[in-house]
Amino acid sequence: MIRVASITPDEYVKKWPTTATHEDVVLLDVREHEELQVAALPFAKHCPMGQIPGRISELDATKTFVVMCHSGFRSMQVAAYLAGHGFERVMNLTGGIDAWSREVDPALPRY
């Protein structure tokens, strides 16, 4: 598997505050639709992991992608997949949305 960099939710927010618009970075949420009903970040782009190969043309490889899931496992696989397909600026969100709710927004439901 291709190795990709990781970033914690706290580091993400320090680098790209969620209150600002960032045209050069995409937080890519690869969780399933059912998971979004429990907890979601409104500024994230959603594309379930299984749909990535068929929808990769929708993603702009010139942007920075931070890939997230529930815990960081699926997102690491997707980040490596993207890196293997020419995406040069890809990171995995360590701990996923579960870590986001612990580090950044305790009001965000955990599951």
Catalytic residue among 27, 30, 68, 69: 69
What strand order describes the sheet that includes 45-46?
Answer: 5-7, 90-93, 64-68, 25-29, 45-46
| 69 noted as active-site residue | yes
CA dihedral 27, 8, 96, 31 (to 10 degrees): 20
The catalytic residues are: 69
